[in-house]
């Protein structure tokens, strides 16, 4: 046996077969196959039914998978894997110059977030002023349905994934302007999908007004959201959209182009 073959054999002894099989089970779910039976999972993951059963029960216990009748579905927690990957790609370094330029041009705040479960998480931010009622920072979490970036990210989900979001989200009002009616929230998400942006005012906190656009990977999938925010006493939502949407879209195109150059940066396997 040559040196290369000996190294490969040694590497195989060090690998975790169970982890590989668990990931294969996750990859068995796709946009076209969002609901799978145990036998279908085994066939698509190319493993014995008994092995697939152990994997799926483990994933179910860890809340990555849920079941309904004989069918299994991925849960929103799977997004944590994608969010961790995006953060590991040094998203701050890729986006910070663009955010700082947005903050300078608008004399306000700009941020990038990803979807983590049913919340958004700030992964990068720049600001030249402090909002009176809310100061977000990298790592801040907010319910997706009350934010412009959250609605942009939800608009990028498949129909099955979006249905699972609605089945697990508790739509709590943070102000008396927060939209909590499930039908209206869905309508807002669908509108965002059509027009390519979302804007909110006084829904996350009184005085907070923001507009957001998607950031895309090489395959055209939404991997993050970019926003510009201000105080409603300083600028109206209509004016915010009119003045900042073109700037945001330009910045999004530039960031998306940079992200597309990062090898393998795509959440297709988790959608």
- What's the rounded Cα separation, in Å, for the pair 91 and 70? 39
Domain with 185, as residue range(s), is: 80-270
Q: Are 203 and 179 in contact (CB under 8 A)?
A: yes
Residue 72 region by backbone torsions, left for phi larger than 0, else alpha for psi between -120 and 50, else beta? beta
What's the residue count for the chain? 271
85 plus 199 within the same structural domain: yes
132 plus 235 within the same structural domain: yes
CA 65 to chain centre: 18
- Neighbour-count burial for 217-228, b at 16+ CB within 10 Å, e otherwise: bbeeebbbbbbb
Q: Is 232 exposed, middle or buried (0-12, 13-18, 19+ CB in 10 A)?
A: middle
CA dihedral 218, 122, 65, 30 (to 10 degrees): -10
169 plus 103 within the same structural domain: yes
60 plus 102 within the same structural domain: no
The widest CA-to-CA distance across the chain, in whole angstroms, is 74
- What's the rounded Cα separation, in Å, for the pair 155 and 157? 6
240 plus 194 within the same structural domain: yes
Last residue of a domain, one of 43, 74, 105: 74
- What's the rounded Cα separation, in Å, for the pair 65 and 76? 9
Edge-to-edge strands, sheet with 36-37? 36-37, 71-74, 65-68
- What's the rounded Cα separation, in Å, for the pair 132 and 191? 29
Give the model's pLDDT for residue 123: 86
pLDDT digits (tens), the chain, 271 positions? 555 455 444 444 445 567 888 889 998 988 678 899 999 999 999 999 999 999 999 999 998 899 989 999 988 777 667 666 555 656 667 788 899 999 999 999 999 998 888 999 888 888 876 554 456 777 788 999 999 999 999 999 999 889 999 999 999 999 999 999 999 999 999 999 999 999 999 999 999 999 999 999 877 889 899 999 999 888 999 999 999 999 999 999 999 988 777 654 443 333 3
232 plus 104 within the same structural domain: yes
105 plus 202 within the same structural domain: yes
Give the model's pLDDT for residue 271: 34
Give the model's pLDDT for residue 135: 65
87 plus 191 within the same structural domain: yes
Outline where 46-78 has alpha helix (H). 49-61
93 plus 198 within the same structural domain: yes
**Residues in a beta bridge with 72:** 36, 67
Residue 232: give its domain's CATH number. 3.30.450.40
Looking at the structure of the chain, the number of domains it has is 2
**Residues in a beta bridge with 36:** 72
Residue 22: give its domain's CATH number. 1.10.10.10
Give the model's pLDDT for residue 262: 62
Last residue of a domain, one of 74, 97, 132: 74
**Token duo for residue 141:** 């979490």
């Amino acid at each position: 046996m040559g040196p290369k073959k000996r190294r490969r054999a040694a590497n195989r002894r060090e690998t975790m077969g169970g982890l590989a099989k668990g990931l294969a089970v996750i990859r068995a779910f796709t946009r076209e196959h969002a609901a799978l039976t145990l036998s279908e999972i085994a066939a698509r993951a190319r493993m014995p039914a008994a092995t697939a059963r152990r994997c799926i029960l483990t994933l179910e216990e860890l809340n990555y998978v849920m079941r309904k009748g004989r069918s299994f579905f991925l849960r929103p927690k799977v997004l944590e894997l994608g969010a961790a990957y995006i953060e590991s790609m040094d998203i701050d370094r890729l986006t910070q110059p663009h955010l700082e330029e947005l903050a300078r041009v608008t004399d306000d705040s700009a941020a990038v977030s990803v979807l983590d479960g049913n919340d958004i998480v700030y992964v990068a931010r720049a600001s030249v002023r402090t909002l009176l009622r809310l100061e977000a920072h990298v790592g801040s979490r907010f319910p997706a349905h009350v934010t412009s970036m959250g609605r942009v990210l939800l608009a990028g989900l498949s129909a099955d994934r979006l249905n699972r979001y609605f089945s697990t989200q508790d739509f709590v009002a943070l102000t008396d302007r927060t939209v909590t009616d499930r039908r209206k929230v869905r309508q807002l998400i669908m509108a965002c999908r059509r027009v390519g942006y979302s804007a909110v005012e006084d829904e996350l906190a009184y005085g907070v007004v923001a507009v957001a656009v998607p950031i895309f990977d090489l395959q055209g999938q939404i991997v993050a959201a970019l926003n510009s925010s201000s105080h409603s006493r300083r600028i109206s939502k209509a004016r915010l959209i009119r003045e900042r949407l073109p700037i945001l879209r330009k910045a999004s195109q530039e960031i998306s182009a940079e992200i597309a150059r990062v090898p393998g940066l795509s959440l297709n396997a988790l959608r």
